[in-house]
Amino acid sequence: QLFVADTVQSDSSVMELLGASHSYLNERLANHYGVEGIYGSRFRKTELPDRNQRGGLLSQGALLTVTSYPGRTSPVLRGKWLLDNMLGTPPPPPPANVPILPDAEAGEVPTSIRERLARHRADPVCASCHVVIDPLGFALENFDVIGGWREHDEVGNLVDPDGSYPGGVEFSGFADLRDWMLDRPEQFSHTLTEKLMTYALGRRVEYYDQPVIRKIVSDAADQNYSWSSLITGIVMSPPFLMSTTR
């Protein structure tokens, strides 16, 4: 909350939500993130020492925790969350009666989550979605269920954060995924503008709102996608000015 508020109050580019090199930490959270030299319960703005492991919303423990199961991470939950909330390309619901990923039998060597998800991608019914969802989630596998950095998964397998995304895109972990998203500011800005517009209008965004949203984002590009450019575009837009739900 402090991190997002800081980007708004300083009128930063909304891309700072993804690419910022700082966060707000107190001693407890700093220890969790492996950042030294922070003491006490007060949250303060802190430069992060390693941008290959931390930076922006993608590496925040709260997000990583709510997209995990209690006992293990979930590349599917994390990948779907990114598609829904940051890339604006939500996948369709899964088909009915899809079996859950099986755990290892007694005495059987546990397999990695990557190996188990490969079974879904081998099923033509599941493959079309998982080929998009899974690589995004795999890129975040160096974060455990509560967002701590790790090199090995829950059963001791070495984490493999590599992934191939449709269109020939290759990821090798969190930093690659973040940089790929930073290279596409119009996509993230469009998704964020849709969500801000939904809040401002008090209703969901419809297909006929899309031309207005595209113009807001296009105009904001000239101002490096600053918060003020997006917010001003929304409050000056016809859907907002003509809304009767405010």
Q: Is residue 223 part of a domain?
A: yes
In 3D space, the residue among 193, 199, 205, 187 whose CA is nearest the CA of residue 229 turns out to be 193
Q: Determine the distance from the C-alpha atom of residue 24 to the mean position of all C-alpha atoms in its chain, rounded to a whole number.
A: 18
Q: Is residue 225 part of a domain?
A: yes
In 3D space, the residue among 232, 142, 145, 242 whose CA is nearest the CA of residue 196 turns out to be 232
- pLDDT score recorded for residue 59: 96
Residues 31 and 43 in one domain: yes
- pLDDT score recorded for residue 118: 83
- pLDDT score recorded for residue 102: 58
Indicate the number of domains in the chain.
Answer: 3
Residues 88 and 159 in one domain: yes
Residue ranges in the chain modelled with pLDDT below 50: none
Q: Is residue 100 part of a domain?
A: no
In 3D space, the residue among 227, 191, 4 whose CA is nearest the CA of residue 82 turns out to be 191
pTM attached to this predicted model: 0.89
* d(C-alpha 196, C-alpha 239), whole Å: 13
Range of the domain at 18: 2-55
* d(C-alpha 58, C-alpha 174), whole Å: 8
- pLDDT score recorded for residue 111: 73
- pLDDT score recorded for residue 165: 85
Q: Is residue 197 part of a domain?
A: yes
Q: Is 165 helix (H, G, I), strand (E, B) or coil?
A: strand
Residues 69 and 157 in one domain: yes
Residues 68 and 171 in one domain: yes
Residues 111 and 77 in one domain: yes
- DSSP letter string, 192-209: HHHHHHHHHHTS---GGG
Question: Could you say which DSSP state residue 73 is in?
Answer: B
